[in-house]
Amino acid sequence: MILLTGGTGLVGSHLLFELVSGGRKVRALKRAGSHSELVKRLFCWYDPENGEAHFDAVEWVEGDLNDIVSLQECMKDVRFIYHCAAVVSFMPEDRQVMMKANVEGTANLVNVALLNKVKKFCHCSSVAALGIPQKDNLVHESLVWKTSARNSWYAISKYGSEREVWRGAEEGLPVVIVNPTVVIGPGDPARSSAQLYQSVKNGMKFYTSGVTGFVDARDVATAMVQLMESDIRHERFILSSEDLSYKELFSLFAHYSGVQGPKYRAGRFLSEMAWRLERMRSFMTGQKPLLSKETARNANIRRYFSNDKVKKALGIEFRPVSEAAENTSRFFKKYPVYLSPDFRMPS
């Protein structure tokens, strides 16, 4: 039996489909009140004939990473764990919740895995956990984390979660860690990179000069399964297809959604103004800000990512980002009415 956390998220839902459609028995942990309707639609999107049957084969259980009892209760017959659940936020008010979920929650899951003698543990981390390159802006697996004021709190939380996984490895738990770049694919437009697509489709006017890596959610799922079912232990792998500017990504989304892409460049000055104005709007309206200081500043940073290690280990060939963008666009054209209960389209 496989236990998967974060099954309703972008990576988790694609991984869930990869596992179940391959005939594997999966128990998916979800929090009380979380919705799986999007997951069912995703299954039917990738397999119109058998999607519902695959979805019905998932054993859904309610639980919480910070509830040891609920974790222990769902461990019966579990031999492998894929850990995809995480809070992703760049808002100051979410820091405490994010640290508790990402670091303490991972520690709890690792402890339960050790107690139940799990055969292997796959942790979906992020390239943010690798830290900031000191030269050439090139990020690779051997990069050493350094404390810096430029590290986002999300990066700090993911670094902390990785430390718990490595601690588990030291205590005898076989582990493998993946560090995806920005994952592109159909997902909840309120909680994933799909929000970028929705923003472009809604007529976003500005782009930033930043460059980063992007990867198709399907490739992340495939790589995780291959690594988990291999003899590889105690290694990390960057998962990235291409390095693109945000303007290039937005142009792809615009092309496949049939709208005009952003035309105006928002440099550092405009970005700094934007997050401050957004903070003021949030204070006056009581609504959650759509932009933070961290996201505004990161959007103008140029970073490049090496995928040599995983390609050599698995022989994997990543889909081009254009294919990921087209897949996302086509999904939302088929399901245009799907919106998360707390989704607000950027104005």
Instruction: Give the CATH number of the domain where residue 158 resides.
Output: 3.40.50.720
Residue 187 has what pLDDT? 84
Residue 97 has what pLDDT? 87
Please give the average pLDDT of every successive group of 10 residues along the chain, which has 347 residues: 93 96 93 81 93 93 88 91 86 80 93 95 94 80 81 87 96 97 87 75 74 95 96 95 90 85 61 47 52 59 90 95 94 70 36
Residue 290: inside a domain: no
CA torsion sign for 245, 248, 253, 256 is: negative
Residue 82 has what pLDDT? 97
Residue 267: inside a domain: no
Residue 195: inside a domain: no
Residue 32: inside a domain: yes
Residue 61: inside a domain: yes
Residue 103: inside a domain: yes
Residue 15: inside a domain: yes
In which domain, by residue range, is 32 found?
Answer: 2-183+214-241+303-322
Residue 262: inside a domain: no
Domain count, the chain: 1
d(CA 188, CA 116): 33
Give the pTM: 0.88
Residue 288 has what pLDDT? 57
